[in-house]
Amino acid sequence: MEQRFVMKCGGSTLAALPDSFFAELRDLQQSGVRPVIVHGGGPAISETLAKLGIETEFVNGLRKTSDAVLDVVEMVLAGRINKEIVRRIQQSGARALGLSGVDGKLIGARPVANSAEIGFVGDVTDVNAAIVEGIMAMGYIPVIAPIGIDDAGQRYNINADTAAGAVASHLGVERMIVVTDVPGILKTVDGEQRVLPSVTVADIEAMIENGEIYGGMIPKVRAAIQCIQGRVREVVIVKGGDPGVLRRAVLEGGVGTRIVQTEV
């Protein structure tokens, strides 16, 4: 079976990545590796809502999503950011095809448990892996925006990490790569910050508890943990701007921080 990997990246992180990152993606694809990208876009959504004068608030880290907010979420994620990523990949000489979870009912969804409070935010019920397989078989990199849909045709805003984990799990991929703007989870050892090579989910909770993981790093690691579901066994957090990072993460290991469910 050919090697494949699912990569999750925030929209703002991806936009800031150097051309060398996309050249690496192209080289991996040309060497027979099959990448799948699931992206987010929170900051761009917030920026567009502000421009349009639409109020938005967060409940436990998830965006409260009314009909008006949902229109903007779909417009920004499936429109602007999705196509921006596709363009960047194609400029590097690789081939990409962008779609959202609505296309071909790629991502089936249902309302989250607290939907009365939070609106049209969804949990993934199903992923139509055959669509992703077909796109890869044609030689394209699938670029997926995390909008879901139910049988009645209602759209849902889906957390990008949850969507990425679900896509990976339905493709049978056990290791996911989360591209961020940090080189991994950092720990201060003897007064200097070092990247932890490997941690368990329990380690992370303990480090958040005792303040070793703090501030903006907390949502990043919590997001990475959300990718560990179904068949996904581990997530590797890497910094997209580091040269050669993608190749190392996919083929060699020894880069970034591996988050594993439990120690084997």
Q: For residue 172, which of 230, 109, 250, 235 has the smallest C-alpha distance?
A: 230
Confidence of residue 147 (pLDDT cuts 50, 70, 90): very high
Bridging pattern class, strands 122-127 and 107-111: antiparallel
Q: Quick one: which H or E segment has residue 99?
A: strand 96-100
Query: Is the whole model's pTM more than 0.85, yes or no?
Result: yes
Lowest mean pLDDT among 14-28, 77-91, 112-126, 181-195: 181-195
**In the prediction, which pLDDT does 140 show?**
96
**More confident site: 57 or 215:** 57
Confidence of residue 2 (pLDDT cuts 50, 70, 90): low
**More confident site: 224 or 146:** 146
pLDDT (tens digit per residue) in 123-134: 999 999 999 999
Query: How far is Cα 139 from Cα 159, in angstroms, rounded to an integer?
Result: 27
Query: Dihedral sign, CA of 222, 224, 229, 234?
Result: negative
> Average pLDDT of 211-230?
83
Q: Is pLDDT above 70 for 26? A: yes
- Lookup: tokens for 163: 């969507």
Q: Is pLDDT above 60 for 1? A: no
> Average pLDDT of 150-175?
93
Confidence of residue 219 (pLDDT cuts 50, 70, 90): confident
Q: Is pLDDT above 70 for 263? A: no
Indicate the average pLDDT of the chain.
91
**More confident site: 1 or 147:** 147
The dihedrals phi and psi of 47, each to the nearest 5 degrees, come to -60, -45
pLDDT (tens digit per residue) in 33-75: 999 999 999 899 999 999 999 998 888 778 899 999 999 999 9
**In the prediction, which pLDDT does 253 show?**
84
Q: Is pLDDT above 90 for 103? A: yes
pLDDT (tens digit per residue) in 167-179: 999 999 988 999 9
Residues ≥6 apart with Cβ < 8 Å to 60? none
